Amino acid sequence: MVVLPYTVAFLLLSSLQTVKIANSQSFIGINYGQVADNLPPPPSTAKLLQSTSIQKVRLYGSDPAIIKALANTGIGIVVGTANGDIPGLASDPNFAESWINTNVLPFYPASNIILITVGNEVMTSNDQNLVNKLLPAMQNVQNALNDASLGGKIKVSTVHSMGVLKQSEPPSSGSFDPSYGDLMKGLLEFNSANGSPFAINPYPYYAYRSDTRPETLAFCLFQPNAGRTDGNIKIKYMNMFDAQVDAVYSALNSMGFKNVEIVVAETGWPFKGDDNDVGPSIENAKAYNGNLIAHLRSMVGTPLMPGKSVDTYLFALYDEDLKPGPGSERSFGLFKTDLTMVYDVGLSTSSQSLAATPQPLQAAATNTSTDTSTNNNNSSTSTSTSTGTGTSTSTSSSTNNISISRGSSSSSSNKVYLNRIFNLGLLYGFMGLSLICLFFFLVFLGYPHTLFKG
């Protein structure tokens, strides 16, 4: 009976640790762009985020009102320098120091800034001046952080489009465009030396736009499909997201940097588009984002990186009604500006369930104009203003389209579902056993004369 308290303590700690693992979900983030004139106040957005399982937010600039609103929430914050700031950051260390003094030091550590992204999709911007100055800019920002004794606490990186890959099919043959040569090597050496991530923007949505067959849609939406086999390594891929991420991993590996962490800085699916758009719909957006979240929560990983989930920032928190381009560019938001959901993918902590289980194969393949959303908020475009906003998601790259040879029929969706049920069962089992042990322990404490009588 003497060991009973220790048993109870152990089981309680085990169950609490299980709860912590189940609820942390630090790999789920979201993009918060601001190319809009109807966004809710930052404090309202902070409260919204706290009501979800979203643990990280990526900003395309460094808006002080947003950073302040996220103070003391524990939510990780990614801030960004604008592409237009890169020449100044590269040529003047004092400018980099001033940027850190203005955009980081007044807020940290109350606001949990975890990463600074220097520019967005610079390597594929066709601006050779920016491309050549990207690495020196990153180095000066890193040096400024080091001087402020924050070098080991806040990372520095940049964000790439899938266009930096020359080959992505099959994933095991993924490689970077050799035209980037030493520039890419220098960036990867920087990532490796500073422990910062290689951030990439994979969009299965754009892969589907270039191959609109029903089987491709199912493959992109994590829905039941026959799978596509990587003939080099005899591994079957069941979804485009894994194929794209593994192509990036193979490219890193081919250059000797397989230990550099991959972060998915953007991925998403529009819920609405123009009449001639193929792919946007509420059904498809809910299927993609919901099934992606379920996939990440399963901790299954990818075929080349099993057993872990890469940090993934969904695109996007709100629509951005001022973005140029086709209608789909303004329709990526998961939430409306009145803070209600455009569609439910199981992010709310009050309603987290198995709602994000695989969607039926009959998801719409074309745009539906009768959806219920009038949400206009944010997405992201390449701009060089001081409040930076983001990304050229409208340009579809051929590297987004990974057409691996098909294999026999199989589905990982059910495995993900069963994995989640098993994890929940394990959690509740631990908690139940702990409560039973605690009950008997309390009985033991309350009635010693009975237990030791005689």
What is the Cα gyration radius of the chain?
Answer: 24
Tell me what percent of the residues of the chain surpass a pLDDT of 70: 72
Check whether 146 has a pLDDT greater than 90: yes
More confident residue, 375 or 431: 431
Q: What's the chain's average pLDDT?
A: 82
413, 427, 418, 426: which is closest to 295 by C-alpha?
A: 413
Task: Please give the average per-residue pLDDT across 331-350, as a whole number.
Answer: 95
Q: Residue 140 domain-assigned? A: yes
More confident residue, 4 or 34: 34
Helices 128-147 and 93-103: crossing angle in degrees, nearest 10, is: 60
Res 440: pLDDT: 55
Give the model confidence (pLDDT) of 177-191 as tens digits.
999 999 999 999 999
**pLDDT tier for residue 434 given thresholds of 50, 70 and 90:** low
Residue 297 backbone phi and psi in degrees, to 5 = -65, -25
406, 405, 407, 401: which is closest to 167 by C-alpha?
A: 401
Residues 121, 169, 283, 320: which is the catalytic one?
121
Tell me what percent of the residues of the chain surpass a pLDDT of 90: 70
Helix (H) or strand (E) holding 262: strand 262-267
52, with CB counted inside 10 A (0-12, 13-18, 19+), is buried
Res 100: pLDDT: 98
Q: Residue 419 domain-assigned? A: no
Cis ω before 170 (30° cut-off from 0): yes
Check whether 442 has a pLDDT greater than 90: no
More confident residue, 126 or 447: 126
Q: Residue 192 domain-assigned? A: yes
Alpha carbons 379 and 11: distance in angstroms, whole number = 45
Which residue range is the domain that position 254 belongs to? Answer: 25-410
Structure tokens given for 271 = 């819920």
Check whether 37 has a pLDDT greater than 50: yes
More confident residue, 402 or 63: 63
**pLDDT tier for residue 411 given thresholds of 50, 70 and 90:** very low
Alpha carbons 368 and 206: distance in angstroms, whole number = 18
**pLDDT tier for residue 349 given thresholds of 50, 70 and 90:** confident
Q: Residue 421 domain-assigned? A: no
Alpha carbons 99 and 163: distance in angstroms, whole number = 29
**pLDDT tier for residue 452 given thresholds of 50, 70 and 90:** very low
Residues 169, 266, 283, 320: which is the catalytic one?
266
Average the pLDDT over each of 84-93, 202-211, 386-395 and give the range with the smallest value.
386-395
Check whether 357 has a pLDDT greater than 70: no
Check whether 53 has a pLDDT greater than 90: yes
Fill in the DSSP letter of residue 61: S
**pLDDT tier for residue 402 given thresholds of 50, 70 and 90:** low
What percent helix, strand, coil does the chain show, rounded to 5?
A: 40, 15, 45
Q: What angle do CA 257, 260, 263 make, to 5 degrees?
A: 135
Q: Among this protein's residues, is 215 annotated catalytic? A: no
**pLDDT tier for residue 450 given thresholds of 50, 70 and 90:** very low
Residue by residue, DSSP assigns 195-254 as: T--EEEE--HHHHHHT---HHHHHHHTT-SB--EEETTTTEEE--HHHHHHHHHHHHHHH
Structure tokens given for 264 = 């998915």
Res 22: pLDDT: 39
Q: Are 270 and 332 in contact (CB under 8 A)?
A: yes
Q: Residue 251 domain-assigned? A: yes
196, with CB counted inside 10 A (0-12, 13-18, 19+), is buried
Q: Residue 157 domain-assigned? A: yes
Q: Among this protein's residues, is 121 annotated catalytic? A: yes
Alpha carbons 328 and 273: distance in angstroms, whole number = 4
Check whether 278 has a pLDDT greater than 50: yes
* Dihedral sign for Cα atoms in the order 335, 338, 343, 344: positive
The domain tally of the chain equals 1
**pLDDT tier for residue 129 given thresholds of 50, 70 and 90:** very high
Q: Are 63 and 34 in contact (CB under 8 A)?
A: yes
Q: Residue 121 domain-assigned? A: yes
CATH classification of the domain holding 287: 3.20.20.80
Q: Residue 382 domain-assigned? A: yes
Task: Please give the average per-residue pLDDT across 228-236, as a whole number.
Answer: 97
**Strand, helix or coil for residue 116:** strand
